[in-house]
Amino acid sequence: MFILLAALVAVPIAEIAVMVKVAEWLGTGQMIALLLSVSIVGLWIVKRQGTGTLRRIRAELDAGRVPGAHLVDGALLLTAGFLLLIPGFITDFLGILLLLPPVRGFVRGRLARRFRPRVVSYPNEGTYRPPQHPSKPDFIELEPPSHLELEPPSSN
């Protein structure tokens, strides 16, 4: 929680400092034009790669496979798009990095290692049966209400 709070304070300060330096080098108008053009081109690339990822997810699902890697790629592309929407050169740089497939593969591998111990998979053998408790019966017999008494079918 502290890291998130620190990032919410530090990132805008760093973005403003970088924007001021770039504005000193290029001029304010060109700095704004550069920010807008990087964001627009980056979002266009996110859209193209996102539709390709969506197509691969559908193909995996149609083949009966779980599209795990493609789903993570889609989430990383969504993150890249979000980073490109935030005005600033640092977040644009991070967003552009996430657009590169080798970088996404590296991040996907790191995420897999990070969350692997927390994921429990059960073998696909048989069906799951909860533990049986001797004090609790497997089923409960109920009597139908009197106004719903069913008559046995006639044997005509």
Q: What is the pTM of this model?
A: 0.67
Q: How far apart are CA 22 and CA 93, in angstroms?
A: 14
Q: Is 42 exposed, middle or buried (0-12, 13-18, 19+ CB in 10 A)?
A: buried
What pLDDT digit, counting tens, does each position of 115-135 carry? Answer: 776 545 555 555 555 555 555
Closest CA to 67 of 59, 77, 75, 76: 59
What pLDDT digit, counting tens, does each position of 44-57 carry? Answer: 998 999 899 999 99
Place of tokens 């429990």: 120
What pLDDT digit, counting tens, does each position of 36-88 carry? Answer: 999 899 889 989 998 999 999 999 888 888 888 888 899 999 999 999 888 89
